[in-house]
Amino acid sequence: MKAIVSAPGKLMLLGEHAVVYDYPCLVTAVSSKIKVEIEIISTGIKIEAPQVKDVSFVEESIRFFKEKFKFKEGLSIKTHSEFSSQYGFGSSSAVTVATLYGLSQLFKLNLSKREIFDFGLEITLRIQKVGSGFDIAAATFGKTLYFITGGKKIEILPIDELPLVVGYSGVKASTPKIVNQIKERLRKEKGKIFGIFNKIGKIVEEGKDSLLAKDYQRLGFLMNENHQLLKELGVSTAKLDKMCEAARKAGAYGAKLSGAGGGDCMIALVPKLKKSEIEKAIEKVGGEIIKVKNNANGVCYER
């Protein structure tokens, strides 16, 4: 008995950090996926995960599943990632969701996507302690989502793929570390930080309307505003700022860092005709272009 399943990575479009504190965000799933192959074996647990970081998420998913559904069989699990865990595409969340979905298929539990999301969030919080769960939602449901902290709201937006360019800054960021830094600042400067979060929350609401109306000019403007607020939060880097600036100068509607900051990726919303010019401009300041589609499907059974 064997199941092969895959789950996508993600990119934050608008709303990072504020979404940890009961504000909404917009997230899109990307076409780069993590594949997980799960097989029932006689005894023991065998895990082959080339990305070392994934192992603890696979282990914790199995532990959670064993506790909840009381299975005793042995398991062999192999993971394969189409993207580097360096990019900040959410490989840990994708591997967690894929493992849960694979186990659900294999043991014929028929778990709903909502259940996969709830379990996935619990597992990742056991390991990372912090996080809104937006990445678990993207891996589970796919597409482009309007999401509120902990899955209080998960709305799939009826849109097409967005004209995005993705640039990697060459620096791997630690999301839990940066989220904890913001938590620390919140203790000292509550008014200021919540002032920024309120503005980000409004940007997300307006961004959702612009997305649905395909008003890319407006959406780009909102991305620039969001980036500025992330700079005020102190999570951008000189490299990310440079890459965003280069994209804007080369004709992007807007650009911002995507994710916790401190490195990882930036995204630019671009007029299709200017795409290659904008990619070159990002490369010129030292960014690496990552070719990836967005609005991709969520976790699915491959065979």
The Cα–Cα gap between 24 and 36 comes to 30
CB of 192 to ligand PMV, least distance (A): 18
> What distance in Å separates the CA atoms of residue 183 and residue 188, rounded to the nearest whole number?
9
For residues 112 and 180, which CB has a smaller minimum distance to ligand PMV in the complex?
180
E-assigned strand segments in the chain: 2-14, 24-41, 45-48, 74-81, 144-148, 153-156, 164-168, 254-258, 265-269, 288-289, 300-301
Could you tell me the smallest distance in angstroms from the CB atom of residue 226 to ligand PMV? 12
- Among 79, 91, 99, 132, which residue sits at the site for ligand PMV (rule: CB under 6 A)? 132
- Please identify which of the residues 135, 160, 209, 264 carries the catalytic annotation: 135
Distance CA 289, CA 267 (A): 10
**Smallest distance from the beta carbon of 146 to ligand PMV, in angstroms?**
14
Of 23, 64, 83, 134, the one binding ligand PMV by CB under 6 A: 134
| Shortest Cβ 219–ligand PMV spacing (Å) | 19
Which residues 241-270 are close enough to bind ligand PMV by CB under 6 A? 259-260, 264
Q: How far is the CB of 16 from ligand PMV (least distance, A)?
A: 4
- Asked if 33 and 82 count as a contact pair (C-beta separation under 8 A), the reply is yes
Query: H helices within 129-252, ranges in order?
Result: 134-141, 175-188, 190-212, 216-233, 238-249
Judged by CB under 6 A, which of 8, 9, 24, 90 binds ligand PMV?
Answer: 90
- Interaction between residue 20 and ligand PMV (CB under 6 A): yes
264 as an active site residue: the answer is no
Among 3, 5, 7, 12, binds ligand PMV (CB under 6 A): 12
Residue 213 burial (10 A CB sphere; 0-12, 13-18, 19+): exposed
- For residues 29 and 8, give the distance between their C-alpha atoms in angstroms, rounded to a whole number: 6
Type and span of the H or E element at 98: helix 91-106
Residue number with CB closer to ligand PMV (19 or 292): 19
Query: Residue from 19, 58, 62, 116 that binds ligand PMV (CB under 6 A)?
Result: 19
Q: How many chain residues are in contact with ligand PMV, going by CB under 6 A?
A: 16
Residue of 103, 179, 252, 296 that binds ligand PMV (CB under 6 A): 179
- By beta-carbon proximity to ligand PMV, the closer residue of 90 and 298 is 90
Shortest Å distance, C-beta 24 to ligand PMV: 11
Residue closer to ligand PMV, measured from CB, 153 or 284:
153
Q: Which string of DSSP letters, residue by residue, matches 219-253?
A: HHHHHHHHHHHHHHHT---HHHHHHHHHHHHTT-S
**Own/partner long-range contacts of 228-231 (Cβ < 8 Å, ≥24 apart):** 229/196, 229/199, 229/200, 229/203, 230/16, 230/17, 230/256, 230/257, 230/261
- Contact residues toward ligand PMV (CB under 6 A) are 12, 16-17, 19-20, 88, 90, 131-132, 134-135, 175, 179, 259-260, 264
Which residues are identified as catalytic?
Answer: 135
